[in-house]
Structure 1
């Protein structure tokens, strides 16, 4: 078989291939210490946000905390509507610690810097659209105590 005979078949196969997934890069600002880690979770599932650990398809990362700012990079992100929840897990125990049963003792943040009022924000307050290519977001860490 001649190599040029394969060219049309290869071109068709490449044209049918799905678009490559891209990345979301988050700059987290306002960290009050370098203690512990910053846990990030990004999901498309409105009904479980912000507990996206319940979404097996969610994007999750844990990075070492730093004074002021850290960067978190999610790769292989398909186009869609996403929301991000962040936790500055200062004691690195893997959970959000609370005072008096409900007030967060550690830092938190959400995409679109969605505000917390009597509980975490709704998905619709934190949702953003990721189309393709690289998308840069900035999320400010907040501390209640």
Structure 2
């Protein structure tokens, strides 16, 4: 009887343990080389997107480039987010440009938001994150 009570108490402890952290997992495809890094940021702030480095609460990371790259943001609270990616091929920490405005390096945005004469608006890249794990795919694009 005591063993059964201990087993029941252990099961109750397992059931009461906190759930796994909420996360957003991004698979990045279409990189033209494995050179450099992929810089990623995810923000809820519409007014600063895609420069979410200005958001102290944003999720940011830098990972080594490869044929396919996986980026994982953990402890993500539910909300509306947009993601911006940069394939920083020379790993100099900035988006290099040709003729002052055309991007020389790859870029990508959540929902594969279109790029016209400027980066997409937050509303074009926004997605809702609820509780649990969310998997997204973003295709890297190159202008030159």
User: Do the structures match in fold with TM over 0.5?
Assistant: yes
Unaligned runs of 5+ in 1: 1-13
Q: Aligned-pair distance for 1:21?
A: 4.7
| Matched residue, 2:107 | 108
Q: Verify the 8 A CA contact 1:30 1:140 in the aligned structure 2.
A: yes
CA distance in 2, matches of 1:106, 1:26: 19
CA distance in 2, matches of 1:137, 1:97: 26
| Matched residue, 1:5 | none
Q: Aligned-pair distance for 1:93?
A: 0.2
CA distance in 1, matches of 2:27, 2:59: 16
| Matched residue, 1:81 | 80
TM-score by length of 1: 0.86
CA distance in 1, matches of 2:22, 2:73: 8
What's the secondary structure of 2:124's corresponding residue?
A: helix
Aligned length, in residue pairs? 130
CA distance in 2, matches of 1:116, 1:48: 17
TM-score by length of 2: 0.86
Give 1 or 2: higher strand fraction.
1
Unaligned runs of 5+ in 2: 1-15
Provide the alpha-carbon RMSD of the alignment: 1.7
